[in-house]
Amino acid sequence: MKTLKFLIEKEFKQMFRNPLIANLIIFFPTMVLLVFPWAITFEVNNIRVDVVDHGKGSYSKRLTDKVEASPYFILNDTPPDYETAMQAMERGEIDMIVEIPTTFDRDIVKQQSSRVGLAVNSVNGSVGLLGSNYMTQIVNDLSRELASELLHKTSHAQMKAPPSLPRLTIEQRYRFNPQMDYKLFMIPGFFVIILTILCGILPALNIVLEKENGTIHQINVTPVHKAWFILAKLIPYWTIGLIAFIIAIFVAYLIYGLWPAGSIFTVLFSGIVFIISVSGMGIIISNYSETLQQAAFLVIFFILIIILLSGMFTPISSMPIWAQAIAAINPFTYLTSALRMIYLNGSSLADVSTNLLMLALFSLLLNGWAVLSYKKRG
């Protein structure tokens, strides 16, 4: 136990002599939160559209205007025919073609209905799907407007009782994140990434570096207990991880106004339980790598799987069963969902207790494995 003090002292001295560390604590969380939330978004904006207007009437002009005014679309051009527009799509200049028929205005006046052609480039699936949804909304919107205008006119002119037109609309209310802001949804995920890099990856690389330098040999030949050696390695990284986490929380508040609807202490407590589990994972990786290259490869391999199968970017419920099984044994899953619950739903410690119990279980398993797989004797 007494030796632990000397080992921790050594790790802190080495850490603060490394100029990278100060940058990591302050700039790393700040940069991640400044940049990533804008880049990683599932909102589809700026869909480029060509409108081929064969009718050239006042109603078809209104539809074109509506497309142009929409925040989702950029009106690229209004070419004279479909072929020209198709060529533009083939060149990758546009994502969507709206084709308005010659009879558009007349059909609306006579039959109160018309058809609009929609061609979407679905190479990028989400642009295709969301783009056509947005466009359908615009068309529906216009048809509703026109219907009420026409109804108005006819009822005035002919003084007939207006025909009852039953209309069902779905009114959606988005709870907990009323603006449907993806940034707010993603930020807890970035907290998880920050903690993983500082508390999982860095100590792993540090230990492998000692292997490469040979200094770990000098430690292994002493009577120091391996659990103390590992603990002394981790404590400094837990400390900077926690500091960076707090900085990240404040940066998220200052820039995005995001503050946990639940208790900040629940947020920090969840973070601490996660930190312990993820650092165990890092130590395991370092125990199975002899060189930095090997360790870096393993880290990249596992990080990709772990992040993609954590529900951070895509909902777990829509994954195939085998992927859901991996997500269920992934610490990331539990912290990401716990943080989202506390931040957006205002969940309490009791509400996230299942998540925290799972994380505690991972901490126990992973760190146990880490100590067992650390070999002082080859």
Partner 1 sequence: MGNVIEVRGLTKRFGNFTAVDRISFNVKEGEIFGFLGANGAGKTTAIQMLCGISKPSGGTGTVAGFDINKESEKIKRNIGYMSQRFSLYEDLRVWENIRLFGGIYGLSEKVIAEKTDELLERLDFASERNTMVKSLPLGWKQKLAFSVAIFHEPKIVFLDEPTGGVDPAMRRQFWEMIYDAAERGITVFVTTHYMDEAEYCDRVSIMVDGRIDALDTPKELRRTHHAASMEEVFTQLARQAKRVE
Summarize as ranges the residues that interact with partner 1 (CB under 8 A).
2-3, 5-7, 9-10, 13-14, 17-18, 213-215, 217-224, 376-378
Return the number of the residue (7 or 240) whose C-beta is nearest partner 1: 7
Q: How far is the CB of 20 from partner 1 (least distance, A)?
A: 13
Return the number of the residue (148 or 218) whose C-beta is nearest partner 1: 218
Return the number of the residue (3 or 122) whose C-beta is nearest partner 1: 3
Q: How far is the CB of 244 from partner 1 (least distance, A)?
A: 22
Name the burial class of residue 20, with classes exposed (0-12), middle (13-18) and buried (19+) by CB atoms within 10 angstroms of its CB. exposed
Return the number of the residue (18 or 137) whose C-beta is nearest partner 1: 18
Using H for helix, E for strand and C for coil, what is the string for 295-326? HHHHHHHHHHHHHHCCCCCCCHHHCCHHHHHH
Q: Helix, strand, coil % (nearest 5) of the chain?
A: 70, 5, 25
Closest CA to 337 of 364, 359, 319, 304: 359
CA dist 41 → 12, 96, 143, 185, 314 (Å): 38, 21, 31, 10, 11
Q: Which residues pair with 99 in a beta bridge?
A: 52, 117
Closest CA to 189 of 74, 47, 333, 83: 333
Q: How far is the CB of 287 from partner 1 (least distance, A)?
A: 15
Q: How far is the CB of 360 from partner 1 (least distance, A)?
A: 30
Q: How far is the CB of 229 from partner 1 (least distance, A)?
A: 9
Span between the terminal Cα atoms of the chain, in Å: 25
Return the number of the residue (212 or 351) whose C-beta is nearest partner 1: 212
Q: Torsions phi, psi of 63, nearest 5?
A: -65, -45
How far apart are alpha carbons 208 and 222 in whole angstroms? Answer: 18
Return the number of the residue (229 or 245) whose C-beta is nearest partner 1: 229
CA dist 346 → 40, 93, 125, 236, 352 (Å): 24, 44, 33, 31, 10
DSSP 8-state class, residue 50: E
Q: How far is the CB of 254 from partner 1 (least distance, A)?
A: 35
Closest CA to 228 of 374, 359, 366: 374
Q: How far is the CB of 227 from partner 1 (least distance, A)?
A: 13
Answer whether 247's CB lies under 8 Å from 19's CB.
no
Q: How far is the CB of 375 from partner 1 (least distance, A)?
A: 9
